[in-house]
Every structure is written in structure tokens, then in C-alpha cells.
Amino acid sequence: GAGVSQSPSNKVTEKGKDVELRCDPISGHTALYWYRQSLGQGLEFLIYFQGNSAPDKSGLPSDRFSAERTGGSVSTLTIQRTQQEDSAVYLCASSQLAGDYNEQFFGPGTRLTVL
């Protein structure tokens, strides 16, 4: 079956513009995660959706960042008024609900460049 997909694969934008990044998780996976990875750095947790529960937004770096997940499937990460420090690879992952020992499956990422 299809894995996690993300679009666009690359996004170049100007400082101050808004961007939307999309994630399509694996069908049937109820948990969805967004991470940010800067060049040569580790993963920075952003937000976590689990089924119908309230999302864990504790990793969002500022109120310019928001995410939603419609119908328990597709998720969109929105960054408003982008800044140069937002430049990074944004990774989405999904996992099954049944047990917290399930591994996460990652998408290829969206490389965001803010000029």
C-alpha cells in the first residue's frame, strides 16, 4: 500500500508570506505527527494528532504555526508570515492506534526555503 505522502516536496517562499504543507498518512493510521528538521539537526516535534483527541500542540514554536487534521486523515500545517528561521525540512509521520509501541512511518518531507 501507499506510504505517507507529503506535498509539495519543495517550497520556496518570500519572507512574510503564508505557506501550507500537506500530509496524507497511511490509510487506517489514527496517529499523525509533524516534525521539523533543520540542516544537520535532530527532529523537532511540532504537533501530534491522535484520533479524535485534542491535538498535542506543545511543540509549535509560535502562534504563526497551526495545523489541522480533517476527517481523521489528511493534515495541513500552516505557517503564517514566514520568517527565514522557518526554513527547514518539515516531516510528517503516521502510526497505528493500537498500542503506543507502534513505529512511525515517515513521509519524504517538504523542504521549505524562506528567502
42 touches other proteins by CB under 8 A = yes
Chain centre to alpha carbon of residue 34: 3
Q: In whole angstroms, what is the distance from residue 36 CA to residue 109 CA?
A: 9
Q: Under rule CB under 8 A, which residues in 75-114 are in contact with other proteins? A: 91, 93, 100-101, 103-109
1 touches other proteins by CB under 8 A = no
- CA-nearest of 113, 110, 114 to 21 is 110
Q: In whole angstroms, what is the distance from residue 49 CA to residue 75 CA?
A: 9
71 touches other proteins by CB under 8 A = no
Q: How far is the CB of 17 from other proteins (least distance, A)?
A: 26
Q: Which residues bind other proteins (CB under 8 A)?
A: 33, 41-43, 45, 48, 50, 56, 58, 91, 93, 100-101, 103-109
